[in-house]
Amino acid sequence: MSLIVTPMSAGMGAYVEGVDLSQPLSNEVTSQLRNLWLEHLVIVIRGQELSSEQYLQFAQRWGQPVAYPFLKGLDGFDVITPVLKKESEKVNFGGIWHTDTAYQDRPPMATMLLAKQLPSIGGDTLFSNQYLAYEGLSEGLKSALKGVRAVFRSDKKRVSQTRQARIDETGRDVDKDWLQGIHPVFRTHPETGKKALYVNPAHTTQFEGWTEQESEGLLDMLYRHQIREEYQCRLQWKYGDLAIWDNRCAMHYPINDYHGQRRLLHRITLAGDIPE
């Protein structure tokens, strides 16, 4: 099997064609796809017609699927979360730069999104390479933040508003309505050994041991820095696209520019480790 790989930008990302994920995959092809993912941080496998069972089986070749903490999944497939914006809604799910569920003790290794229904125009997703964001910092700032950890919470107002409509419809019964994790500002990727900047405006509230007010200025600078255009790629979705990105070193932002139209993707997140 010969995979066709087309880079999305100079900074990250690749489109992949020439594989049918509804069919059994050899270990060789699975390894090729994973290596492309580690190299490009996000890969988009085009033209996939997958049932929920086939989608889950492929995800299990990649890692351990885990349920989203605040929403129920599809009937019979609880680890597949519908990411939906209805025609009548103005707010899109996760509509802010972020890495998925960074407020957990073990944030997910990867996220998969399968395009099921798309608007006729708009609805792209931006990604940003956090290896490059780390490398782009001055040596002085790297030294100052070495060993510093940041606090991540699930209830920051801007991001919690983006999921409220879905929680009202299909929310889980949870012990508490917020979660918190504390992770290194610079995390080391367990597979590549490379360092990545690991803060995000959706979930990071402050540096550990600092007040929110003391943290605000430096965090705002890091947020601006980590989405420089040269670090980014842009996914223009097509029906049947399966995007897989590495949450350990990539941020993403779904653009909310398609009011009055419906957009539905099916999400699977894969278990990760404790950031170090």
Active site residues: 98, 100, 252, 267
The rounded distance, in Å, linking the Cα atoms of 264 and 86 is 8
Distance in angstroms (rounded) separating the CA atoms of residues 256 and 243: 18
Amino acid at 14: A
239 three-state secondary structure: coil
What's the rounded Cα separation, in Å, for the pair 133 and 167?
A: 33
Can you tell me the distance from the alpha carbon of 233 to that of 252, in angstroms, rounded to the nearest whole number? 10
H helices of the chain, where? 27-40, 52-62, 130-135, 139-145, 157-170, 212-225
Beta bridge partners of 111: 245, 269
Task: For residue 186, give both structure tokens.
Answer: 């610079």
Closest CA to 127 of 11, 39, 267: 11
